[in-house]
Amino acid sequence: MSRKQGGGPRAASAAGRHRRPQAGTASGPGGGGLAVQLRALGLKLREVPGDGNCLFRALGDQLEGHSRNHLRHRQETVDYMIKWREDFEPFVEDDVPFDKHVTNLAKPGTFAGNDAIVAFARNNQLNVVIHQPNAPLWQIRGTDKNNVRELHIAYRYREHYDSVRRINDDSEAPAYLQMEMLCKNDSNKREEAKLWKGEFEADEIEGETEDAVQKVLKATGCSDTDLVRHILDVEDYNVESAIFAVIQMNEVERISAEEQHDPQSEVQESCSRTLSEENRYGSRISGNQSLHQGEIGNNTGQARNNDKNQAGRNPKVSKKQKKEQQRLEKKKRQEERHRQKVLASKNDRADSSRRETDSSSHVTLVKTMEALNI
């Protein structure tokens, strides 16, 4: 990477001069004033051991969710500095030869300064944000790209770095924090909007809900307000979808009422009557042994004619019944499709809500009025 690509020698120069906070700006272990400062942003310190590896431990916790790979991060940073020697050599402090500087830096337990942060940020193509007590945020840019990942670390009580986490984040997952730059006008507008929202949002939502209820009642002729409110809630207050759902529900109820007087039952009754008549014919024939054979034949023929006439009438009834059955099945299929549509819509909304929740919990915005870019 050229000097221009990484922010040039000025970036390495500013980072290479390891600036220590003034005495008294932090109050020892626990973070003191810095902990309070972070809490106001919804953040907290995740402390790492002060064993000389704290910088790479803190960066590792941000990047991977733990600090166990700090030695690998150290070696990769040193290798990057050696590869881009021309970017770092002019800014080694205390007139220490560059080779000796990187040799010492490669040893576990050796304190690393801002030049190592610059190298780490460039090597991983991300930005590192440094929180300090009573000071603007420092942002060390490892790339010129926008919307890149940020690692947030804290620098406190002279020569120690810790990881910065969301206030409720106790996981071993990578940290995802992102700076959000605000200006005073934006801040004022946000506060005004918040006040307005707090005063009028409830009334506005209630008014919109009641308006939607009345529209559905009027369009469907339904008089059950609670039912309409429930359907609107299921349909995410989409008035057209709610109207369709109420109409479908009314249609299902109508079909159910018709099924109680289904023509099929009439056909079954007719068939039952025919069987009873045939049984009576059989009983009379078997019970009267004195009848002439011809009369028996006539009765039998008449029974056959009755059967044929009944069979001739049955196709008409079956055709009518079949048509009615097809209509009922069509309605049921429409109802099922609508039910599946409602379920799919609810699932989509739930998935969308989960994605939004996951996204909002995945990246936490760190609001700040100013930051120093290195």
Among all residues, which ones are annotated catalytic?
Answer: 51, 54, 160
Give CB contacts under 8 A, 24+ apart, made by 55-59.
Answer: 55/111, 55/112, 55/116, 55/117, 55/153, 55/161, 56/112, 56/120, 57/161, 57/163, 58/153, 58/154, 58/161, 58/162, 58/163, 59/117, 59/120, 59/128, 59/151, 59/153
- How do strand 177-181 and strand 371-373 relate by DSSP bridges? unpaired
Annotate 323-350 with DSSP letters as a single string.
HHHHHHHHHHHHHHHHHHHHHHHHHHHH
Residue 290 C-alpha from the chain's centroid: 89
The conformation of residue 74, written as its DSSP 8-state character, comes to H
Distance, CA of 33 to CA of 229 (rounded, Å): 51
Distance, CA of 219 to CA of 240 (rounded, Å): 10
Tokens of 110: 């050796």
Do the Cβ atoms of 55 and 117 come closer than 8 Å? yes
Tokens of 287: 């019970």
Tokens of 122: 């460039």
Distance, CA of 217 to CA of 225 (rounded, Å): 7
